Amino acid sequence: MPAGSRKKQGNVCRECHRVVEGEACSICGSGNLSNDWAGYLVIIDPERSEIAKRMNIKLPGKYALKVR
């Protein structure tokens, strides 16, 4: 599969950057979603992750680095 041709995982919450399925974010409850995002991040242990701390992520899950 050529680079850049992969389908994105879904919509991303513009508030908390979490990759979500459905019409609203199950974490923060926001319906402000975007399908225009870049960078895929999986947080397994937010307590020990420096990236999670910098992004203010408190729960494990799939997140986008940049959301437009």
pLDDT at 7: 53
How far apart CA 56 and CA 63 sit, in angstroms, is 12
Q: What are phi and psi of 53, to 5 degrees?
A: -65, -45
Looking at residue 12, the DSSP 8-state letter turns out to be E
* Per-residue H/E/C for 25-66: CCCCCCCCEECCEEEEEEECCCCCCHHHHHCCCCCCEEEEEE
Q: Is the pLDDT of residue 2 over 80?
A: no
* pTM for the full predicted model: 0.82
pLDDT at 10: 87
pLDDT digits (tens, 9 = 90+) for 3-52: 554 556 789 999 999 999 999 999 999 999 999 999 999 999 999 999 99
Q: CATH number of the domain at 22, please.
A: 2.20.28.90
Residue 17, in any domain of the structure: yes
Residue 6, in any domain of the structure: no
Residue 2, in any domain of the structure: no
Residue 33, in any domain of the structure: yes
Domain boundaries, position 22:
11-67
Total tally of structural domains belonging to the chain? 1
pLDDT at 4: 52
